[in-house]
Amino acid sequence: MNHKMVNLCDASKKVADDMKNFSKWVREELLKRAPKANKHIPHSVCGEFLDCEYNPVAQCWRGICNKCEVTVEFR
């Protein structure tokens, strides 16, 4: 396990102190934003395979089905 110091203001320290496992929460939040490799996912409607990119803000995979002409999200 690596260590990284986080500076907190008084208000954020109180929130962190009240959490059961602040370090675990920080790790999980950071991993949600980590770059992910593109995926080749089949569209459930037509079966066409979509080249999907991960969107860390929406926390989902997005692809465009050229056959159905729709944007598809996978969570």
pLDDT at 55: 83
Question: Taking all residues of the chain, what is their mean pLDDT, rounded to a whole number?
Answer: 90
Beta-strand ranges (E) seen in 1-75 are 39-42, 49-55, 60-65, 70-74
Give the gyration radius of the chain's Cα atoms. Answer: 18
Position 1 confidence tier, pLDDT thresholds 50, 70, 90: confident
A 10 A CB-CB count for 52 gives 20
pTM exceeds 0.85 for this model: no
Position 12 confidence tier, pLDDT thresholds 50, 70, 90: very high
pLDDT at 18: 97
The ranges assigned to domains in the chain are 1-34, 35-75
Q: Identify the three-state secondary structure at position 31.
A: helix
What is the average per-residue pLDDT within 46-51? 93
